[in-house]
């Protein structure tokens, strides 16, 4: 501590500057991470909320499966018969509506069979009922001003749906989710505006089959027999529109920041070490071990990196608060801590790149009198 | 502590800068006495101090401190010897820019692995001994050349070394300062009973020394 702190104090301008740079990088990493989580939630939280282990899609759909895939009732029934698997049909489609009070909303309509496991739990109001049409909305729609008891008219068809309950703050493809009975979903998905098709004459299809499979259940055999393609939830998330692209974008920004941080810190400490070389030579000449020089330099690095990172974390949190609920930003304590720990770690790794130089100044250079 | 060099041969540099400095040099130094190393520039005064101070290994010969031949020690052991037994005052660049005069002395304790807080009072006393009682909080750039040298001398003596090595202590100061420093070296050598080697051109320093060794450049 003795030398570490006094040297920092004497060179406080330089260390402050370095601390600020670390702070900004850490804040940027924090903010990007907040957007990664926020955007991710905005895109797939409704899928994450689904208590399923897998989803079976039609084989033809290779991407954007919720939009492209259609499975018929026979397939759903086939899946229900498989041992070790609980299956329920699921329909997903994005549509728009207007409430009785003129509020226009976008909603990701999730068609489920009431009573099956994909049906949402409600926070307020009542759940879906097979006997009558109804709508259980995401908490986000409730935040936007839709209330239990409102009637939402689906714009395309004029279909009127009473809001019966509110579930968690879930959304899909940046659109708040709204759950409705599968039959109603079919009207939205397959109904043609103007043509008064009765529900019985619409296709009896769903987007996919939500599965709750016990470990050991032979999903491949079922896929083979039923002509479906089953994906685990981690892959199902990628079926959500935009999810993969957002991930790649945000992750590559983070990766670059993780590369930049150690180089910045490393460059600073390389210069710092070169500037100190005569003093390091003096310390070696009066008997300082290499270890002592290393440990106090590492301590200096740790101080500036940790202080900068913590300040950066605070800045990221502050930014999150300023942005408010309007933008998809979410930075839970756990994520923030992990992110900051990673920044601090790569920052210190950057110092280690230059540490060898700390021990190289030759004490014999002290002999060459006035330099 | 005693120091003896026997048949010490030293070459500096490599290849085209290879320079023979000593050939089979032998000498013995007693505690409590100041030896002045005298000779023209380039005669090897600083080199001899470096060999005695375990900074530079001779090509051959023995450098014995008490009973230990330091030429047989590993680098880490020589480093340790420097911090524990040897006080070194270089011709310049002795002080650390970030530290006050008092802290320069405490840095010696820090380097030796001890705490610094409990030595503070002793550091202040040591600076008073070299006449710097009212310069305790000054940093190197706030001290005159002579004051810096006195801080360096106090630092070299701070841990009670058995061997004190001083390189051109008066090269950068005026007559009065030089006399004061020469007197300090004698005083401190007597008080600490250390072996003291002073490389110098200064007649005043040579005059106060107990013995002198004349070094001549290799022909
Ligand atoms: N690193 C080196 N490489 C090659 N030769 C060197 C090196 N260092 C010193 N020398 C040579 O060794 C000789 C002795 O140098 P040293 O510094 O001991 O002289 P000195 O007696 O202290 O001189 P001065 O009074 O100028 O300080 C000089 O001739 C010098 O040129
Ligand atoms: Mg010299």
Chain centre distance of CA A39? 6
β-bridge pairing A104-112 and A175-181: parallel
Contact assessment for residue A281 and residue A365, using Cβ atoms and an 8 Å cutoff = yes
A366 secondary structure, DSSP code: G
Share of chain B above pLDDT 70, in %: 99
pLDDT digits (tens, 9 = 90+) for B7-66: 999 999 889 999 999 999 999 999 999 999 999 988 999 999 999 999 999 999 999 999
Ligand 1 pocket member B200 (CB < 6 A): no
Q: Which of B210, B112, B190 is nearest to B155 (CA)?
A: B112
Read off the tokens for B133.
């009682």
Where do the domains of chain A lie? 2-44+244-370, 60-226
Given a cut of 70, is residue A1 above it in pLDDT?
yes
B6–A contact, CB cutoff 8 A: no
pLDDT class for B217, splitting at 50, 70, 90?
low
Answer yes or no: is the C-beta of B21 below 6 A from any ligand 1 atom.
yes
Q: Which of A257, A234, A242, A249 has the alpha carbon at shortest distance from A316?
A: A257
Atom of ligand 1 minimally distant from the CA of B47: 18
Strands A228-232 and B86-89, by their bridges, are unpaired
A287 with B50: Cβ contact below 8 A = no
Classify residue B115 by burial, with Cβ atoms within 10 Å: 0-12, 13-18, 19+.
Answer: exposed
Q: Grade residue A370 by pLDDT with cuts at 50, 70 and 90.
A: very low
pLDDT grade for A371, boundaries at 50, 70 and 90: very low
Q: Please tell me which residue of chain B has the smallest CA distance to A366.
A: B90
A90 within 8 A of A68, measured Cβ to Cβ: no
Residues measured by CB to lie within 5 Å of ligand 2, the ion: B 46
B102 lines ligand 1 (CB under 6 A): no
CA A51 from centroid of its chain's CA atoms: 18
Chain A contacts of B97, Cβ < 8 Å?
10, 279
- Model confidence pLDDT, tens digit, residues A32-80: 999 999 999 999 999 999 999 999 999 988 888 999 999 999 999 999 9
| Nearest-angstrom CA–CA distance, B62 and A58 | 88
Based on the number of CB atoms within 10 Å of its own CB, is B133 exposed (0-12), middle (13-18) or buried (19 or more)? exposed
CB contact at 8 A, B21 and B215: no
pLDDT of residue B218: 53
Spatial contact of B89 and B156, defined as CB atoms under 8 Å apart: yes
pLDDT at B104: 97
Whole-number Å distance between alpha carbons of A28 and A37: 14
| pLDDT above 50 for B76 | yes
The stretch A8-31 carries a mean pLDDT of: 95
This complex has an ipTM of: 0.95
Pick the CATH number of B3-214 from 2.40.50.140, 3.40.50.970, 3.40.50.300, 3.90.180.10: 3.40.50.300
CA of B27 from ligand 2 middle (Å) equals 19
| Domain chopping of chain B, boundaries | 3-214
Give the tens place of pLDDT for each residue, A263-272: 999 999 999 9
- For residue A117, which phi and psi values (nearest 5 degrees)? -65, -25
CB of B93 within 8 Å of a chain A CB? The answer is: yes
End-to-end CA distance of chain A: 29
What torsion, rounded to 10 degrees, do the Cα atoms A218, A223, A228, A230 define? 30
- CA B95 from centre of chain: 14
Comparing alpha-carbon positions, the chain B residue that sits nearest to A362 is B55
Nearest CA in chain B to A287: B83
Q: Is B146 in the pocket of ligand 1 (CB under 6 A)?
A: no
Out of B47, B50, B82, whose CB is closest to A287? B82
* pLDDT score, position A202: 86
Give mean pLDDT, residues A306-327: 92
- Cβ pair B93:A286 closer than 8 A: no
Report whether pLDDT(A369) > 70: no
Instruction: Tell me the chain B residues in contact with residue A6 when contact means C-beta distances shorter than 8 Å.
Output: 98-99, 103
pLDDT of residue A296: 93
Show Cβ contacts of residue B91 under 8 Å, excluding neighbours closer than 6 positions.
A367, A369, A370, B46, B167, B168, B171
* Cβ neighbours for A309, distance < 8 A, ≥ 6 positions apart: A22, A23, A26, A340, A343, A344, A347
Q: Is B193 left (phi over 0), alpha (psi -120 to 50) or beta?
A: left
Place of tokens 């000054």: B138
β strands within chain B, DSSP E: 3-12, 19-29, 34-38, 60-65, 68-69, 86-89, 163-167, 195-199, 211-214
Whether B90 contacts chain A with CB within 8 A: yes
Decide if B58 contacts B51 (C-beta within 8 A). Answer: yes
Closest ligand 1 atom, CA of B48?
A: 18
Q: Which residues pair with A56 in a beta bridge?
A: A209, A230
Q: pLDDT higher for B128 or B172?
A: B128
* Chain segment A166-223, per-residue pLDDT in tens: 999 999 999 999 999 999 999 999 988 877 677 778 899 999 999 999 988 899 999 9
């Amino acid at each position: 501590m003795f030398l570490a702190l006094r040297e920092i104090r004497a060179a406080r301008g330089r260390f402050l500057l370095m601390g600020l740079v670390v702070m900004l990088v850490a804040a940027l990493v924090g903010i990007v991470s907040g957007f990664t989580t926020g955007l991710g939630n905005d895109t797939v939280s409704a899928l994450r909320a689904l208590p399923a282990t897998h989803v079976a899609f039609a084989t033809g759909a290779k991407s954007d499966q919720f939009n492209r895939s259609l499975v018929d009732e026979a397939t759903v029934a086939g899946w229900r018969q498989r041992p070790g698997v609980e299956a329920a049909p699921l329909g997903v489609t994005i549509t728009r509506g207007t409430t009785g009070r003129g509020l226009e909303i976008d909603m990701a309509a999730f068609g489920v069979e009431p009573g099956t496991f994909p049906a949402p739990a409600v926070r307020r109001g009542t759940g879906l009922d097979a006997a009558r049409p109804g709508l259980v909305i995401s908490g986000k729609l409730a935040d936007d001003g839709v209330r239990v008891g409102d009637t939402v008219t689906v714009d395309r068809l004029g279909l009127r749906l009473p809001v019966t309950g509110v579930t968690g703050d879930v959304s899909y493809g940046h659109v708040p989710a709204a759950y409705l009975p599968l039959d109603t979903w079919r009207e939205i998905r397959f109904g043609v505006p103007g043509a008064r098709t009765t529900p019985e004459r619409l296709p009896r299809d769903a987007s996919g089959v939500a599965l709750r499979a016990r470990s050991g259940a032979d999903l491949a055999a079922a896929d083979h027999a039923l002509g479906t393609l089953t994906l685990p939830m981690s892959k199902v998330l990628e079926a959500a529109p935009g999810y993969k692209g957002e991930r790649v974008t945000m992750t590559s920004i983070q990766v670059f920041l993780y590369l930049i941080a150690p180089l910045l810190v490393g460059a600073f400490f390389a210069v710092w070490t070169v500037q100190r070389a005569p003093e390091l030579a003096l310390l070696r000449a009066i008997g300082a071990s290499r270890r002592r020089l290393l440990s106090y330099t590492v301590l200096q690095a740790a101080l500036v990196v940790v202080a900068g990172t913590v300040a950066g974390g605070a800045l990221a949190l502050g930014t999150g608060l300023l942005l408010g609920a309007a933008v998809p930003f979410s930075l839970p304590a756990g994520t923030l801590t992990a992110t900051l720990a990673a920044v601090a770690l790569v920052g210190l790794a950057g110092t280690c790149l230059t540490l060898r130089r700390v021990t190289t100044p030759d004490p014999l250079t002290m002999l060459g009198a006035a330099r | 502590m005693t120091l003896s060099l026997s048949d010490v041969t030293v070459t500096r540099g490599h290849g085209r800068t290879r320079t023979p400095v000593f050939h089979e040099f032998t000498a013995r130094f007693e505690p409590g006495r100041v030896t002045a190393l005298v000779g023209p520039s380039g005669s090897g005064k600083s080199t001899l101090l470096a060999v005695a101070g375990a900074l530079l290994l001779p090509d051959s010969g023995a450098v014995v401190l008490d009973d230990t031949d330091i030429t047989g020690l590993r680098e880490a052991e020589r480093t340790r010897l420097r911090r524990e037994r040897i006080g070194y005052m270089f011709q310049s660049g002795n002080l650390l820019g970030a530290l006050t005069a008092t802290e320069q002395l405490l840095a010696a304790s820090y380097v030796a692995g001890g705490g610094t807080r409990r030595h503070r009072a002793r550091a202040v006393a040591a600076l008073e001994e070299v006449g710097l009682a009212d310069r305790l909080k000054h940093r190197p750039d706030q001290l005159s050349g002579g004051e810096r040298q006195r801080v360096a001398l106090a630092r070299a003596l701070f841990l009670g070394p058995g061997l004190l090595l001083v390189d051109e202590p008066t090269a950068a100061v005026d007559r009065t300062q030089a006399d004061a420093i020469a007197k300090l070296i004698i005083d401190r050598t007597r008080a600490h009973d250390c072996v003291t080697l002073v490389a110098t051109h200064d007649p005043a320093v040579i005059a106060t020394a107990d013995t002198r060794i004349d070094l001549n450049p290799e022909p």
